[in-house]
A and B are shown apart, each in its own frame.
Chain A
Amino acid sequence: MDTPEFQGTHLWDRLCWAKENLEAYQSEYRVVYEDSIDECAKILVPDPNWMACALQGGILPPVWVYWELAKDEAQPDFKKHTRGYLLHQTEPVEAMTEEQAIEYLIMKDCPQHVWREWNTGNKPKMVICRKEQLPSTREWRNAWKITEELTVTDLAA
């Protein structure tokens, strides 16, 4: 199915179209990251309906739009968004592969200090893995255990 010409259409309306017309896609990818060394590792799970939008193309705004909104929100006098039009007026991004969609999602929903410096310091702060690679026990997610039990080499296998 072709995506309608959505530039200028409210993002909400685009999501309504996607919900009605696209089949949700359950990604097997997960992102494990450490936001703070004082907290347990966190897991980012892609939304199936959002993944369908990303794979379809022509629906989602470019990720820099979210960074701009985050900059506005970081201002001390922020009350409400005045540049929400960026979500709706900016030309939507083309169809992504599943891997590109995960990268987009990391840059959108993980803290910037995590993904910009994920591999600096003593060990990686973030890994992309498959769902079945994650043990379900909470103990595993104790911070400082990412490299001990889920290495970058494992991910390449």
Chain B
Amino acid sequence: MAGKIVADTLEHSTAGSVDTQFVVNGSAKSWANFTGTGTIALTDSFNVASLSDEGTGEYETNFTNSMSNGDFAIHVTSDANTSNDGFNRTAGGSNNTTAKGHARHYESGSITDTSLMITTVHGDLA
């Protein structure tokens, strides 16, 4: 690929240096921003082939480049549909396979659809 730079270390003039493996390992490997109510739709993403609406408040992002193993980290944030904003609201994620990440949204203890869902995945790529 044109413009390729091969380097093991990045060094700042005064602030020290960092191994490029920190950048590679620390970068998000997939992210998605989508609307989870009505007929769901992806707004933007990276390394996502499709989104599955699995049921009320449950969604799966299917990766284009699979993860190396099932131990990757998925972080999920979501927007509240009601005045629960900031209270009684949770967003959870799980990773059942290397090919997809599972996300859920809860309000007041019940799983429910949400207007905005954001997922981020860190880990090793296959």
Contact = CB atoms under 8 A, between A and B. Distances in A.
Contacts of B125: 10, 12, 84
Nearest to B55: A40
A134 B66 contact: no
B41 A81 contact: no
Contacts, number: 110
B100 to A, nearest CB: 8
A45 B98 contact: no
Nearest to B43: A48
Contacts of A48: 42, 44-45
Interface stretch (B9-17, B46-54, B74-82, B85-93): B46-54
A136 B41 CA distance: 12
A15 B64 CA distance: 9
Interface of B: 1-2, 29, 32, 37-42, 44-56, 62, 64-66, 68-69, 97-100, 113, 124-126
- Nearest 10 Cβ contacts at the A-B interface: A84-B126, A80-B69, A136-B38, A81-B126, A43-B53, A109-B62, A45-B51, A50-B49, A11-B65, A47-B48
Interface of A: 4, 9-13, 15, 17, 19, 24, 26, 30, 39-40, 42-50, 53, 60, 66, 69-70, 73, 79-81, 84, 87, 105, 108-109, 131, 134, 136, 138, 141
